[in-house]
Amino acid sequence: MFAKLARPFPLGATLCDQGCNFSIYHPENKPLKLVLFKKNNKPHIIELQNNYQNIYYTFVPDIKAGQVYGYYIKDKGEERLILDPYAQALDTIAHYTPPFTAEQSWKFAKSVVVDHSFDWQGIPAPRIRHEETIVFETHVKGFSKQHPEQPHHLSGSYLGLCQPSMVAFFKKHGINCLQLLPITSCMSEPHLLKMNKVNFWGYNSLCFMAPEPRYASQDAVTELKTMVRELHRHGIEVIMDIVFNHTAEGGEGGPHFHFKSLDKNYYQLDSNKNFKNYTGCGNTVNLVHQPSLNIVLDTLRNWVTHYHIDGFRFDLASTLGRYGDRFNTEAAFFKAIAQDPVLREVKLIAEPWDIGPDGYQLGSFPRGWNECNDKYRDTVKSYWLCKENNIKEFATRIMGSRDLFSAGKWPDKLPVNFISYHDGFTLQDLVSYNRKHNYANGENNRDGHGDNRSNNHGAEGRTENYAVLCRRERMKRNLMATLLFSFGIPHVLAVDLLSHSQGGNNNAYCQDNEISWANWALTKEGDEFLTWISMMIHKRQTIMPEFIKAFSGHDRGRHRVIWKRSDGHNMTGEDWQGIEAFALMLGLDKDGDELLFLFNNSTIPTRYRLPVGNKWDIVCDTSESQHNCRQAQTSYMQSALSMTILHRRCTALNQP
């Protein structure tokens, strides 16, 4: 009877009332057996009785959720225990002492059978529109670890991120979408293990479908689902940052956890059968190989179906569209997602590059994908922090980078604009350091990006100099006001709301300590900035969605875009060569609502003549640390190195 219950699909461990079906893809001619571990950790070996298209499978009766298992494989004369690539959970945090030997594999983390039953309490997905989305990049442990109102046993955990105090913070400050740094199971690289460090960010996938146990007190599966449910209850989306471009097995000489032992063709290989390294991590997943494509798609459906995840940010996503050395926007991966009834409805964000040939693909991803816009980051930082004469490029970026992302495909094809990301300086460090300070990483400051486009404003790092502090705070406001009111989906590093500094470390991937943990003890300046940016987020959500929708699609041409000099005259071609004080006016239809941006990147105050009509409401003036409700009508004196955003309703709405 039980033999009839054995099935090749789905792959992995699938529970039913009678027991569990185990299925694994293995085209190599190596002995392979299922290993079940009893409570005394004694292994029980079971033959895989069936084979269908290189999928070995069997049904084992009376198996319950929580059963620990793995697969015995004899590889090059070594008897090794490997993980199920489709494992839904791990029994412990993955760790070993290098090198990873066959003997160590039996003491390593093991796969766990999971029952995905969960009470979602009827909570619907928030389904936030693209024009209303603000992505807040967040590390599960890093953001909640030091929160003063966090229960100690939940700090740094999935449950810690959805505690009432944390949810109250998100709601108060207008946070409607969390993009979590990787929460799939992760294995630290051998060089970190040798230094007694960990991969804190998590960009080194072990098992794609298993949640990282580091962030759970007992059961990572249930606790992660609880976190998502409670965030959804309060209208907050959850996007996963996920890594499919490489795995923790690395390149030649790297450890064997599963894929390498089962089928080396999961990875891209050169003519000599060596691993291609288009990721900087030693190996590159080959999505032209059908089993690789299958597990990636199965993984995405797993997270959406079982965990109600709202979307994904794909690390080094150009790899996913590769056919050998070339990127192809018509790749099978993109086609498969576009036709998938589960995946085509979630948010898809690409980091549109890798380090291989043909790797930089900003603007090339198909419809249905948003893309991280590094040109926006570099341009805006250069304009405000480096005082480069790049106003034409600056104007293009704040208007939505329409040279790369056609407004005819907005709002679903809006670029994801950002100033700071997990890799690079935090906002506070951008205005506090001229150079990176990564010595704590143990690589003699050789790691991390050298092109930071930062400005310490007169002192490197911490200072009590009041003038320096004022300049830094003003520049933070310039950067964030520009980001929030540009056309696009703003991406905000969550710790930037707290003015968190990493001490100048721009590559804190291995710093599971106070360098990376959000510092909730705000200074006076930090508290003022949090109040300011909270106000700005709420104003952005009140004003910008209407303008984004108006400037999207086929009817966008009927609205007004006017670039002006400070004297009120329209800019000429000559003005674009080096003007320091200029204005942008956006208007809906012929006489609808209007937005006015005053940019003054000069070192002297400049008086602007304002367009005639009703009074303008001042949304913000970045020269001021606090918002004062006031209006302007005919002219406005703009302080040096600052900007002001003004808004006025259409004439009809202003009638008494």
**No. of helices (H) and no. of strands (E), the chain:** 13, 27
Residue 570: DSSP 8-state: B
102 alpha carbon, distance to own chain's centre: 35
Q: Is 555 annotated in the active site?
A: no
Residue 328: DSSP 8-state: -
Q: Is 315 annotated in the active site?
A: yes
Q: Which two tokens stand for residue 129?
A: 């529109």
Pairwise CA distance, residues 51 & 257, whole Å: 22
Burial of 185: CB neighbours in 10 Å, binned 0-12, 13-18, 19+: buried
Burial of 366: CB neighbours in 10 Å, binned 0-12, 13-18, 19+: middle
Longest dimension (CA), the chain: 88
Q: In whole angstroms, how large is the CA radius of gyration of the chain?
A: 27
Pairwise CA distance, residues 90 & 82, whole Å: 12
Phi, psi of 424 (to 5 degrees): 125, 180
Q: Which of 619, 608, 613 is nearest to 647 (CA)?
A: 619
Please pick, among 91, 137, 351, 429, the residue that the annotation labels catalytic: 351
∠ Cα 88 90 92 (to 5°): 165
On whether the CB atoms of residues 33 and 79 are closer than 8 A, the answer is no
> Residue length, the chain?
656
Q: Which two tokens stand for residue 436?
A: 């990176």
Please pick, among 189, 315, 371, 594, the residue that the annotation labels catalytic: 315
Pairwise CA distance, residues 435 & 430, whole Å: 9
Beta bridge partners of 35: 45, 70
Please provide the DSSP assignment of 250-274 as one string: -STT---SSHHHH-GGGB-B-TTSP
| DSSP reduced 3-state for 322 | strand
Q: Which two tokens stand for residue 95?
A: 């760790």
What is the residue whose two structure tokens read 């609502």? 593
Pairwise CA distance, residues 312 & 332, whole Å: 18
Pairwise CA distance, residues 648 & 485, whole Å: 15
CB contact set of 94 (below 8 Å; sequence gap of 6+)? 108, 109, 185, 186, 187, 206
Residues forming the active site: 315, 351
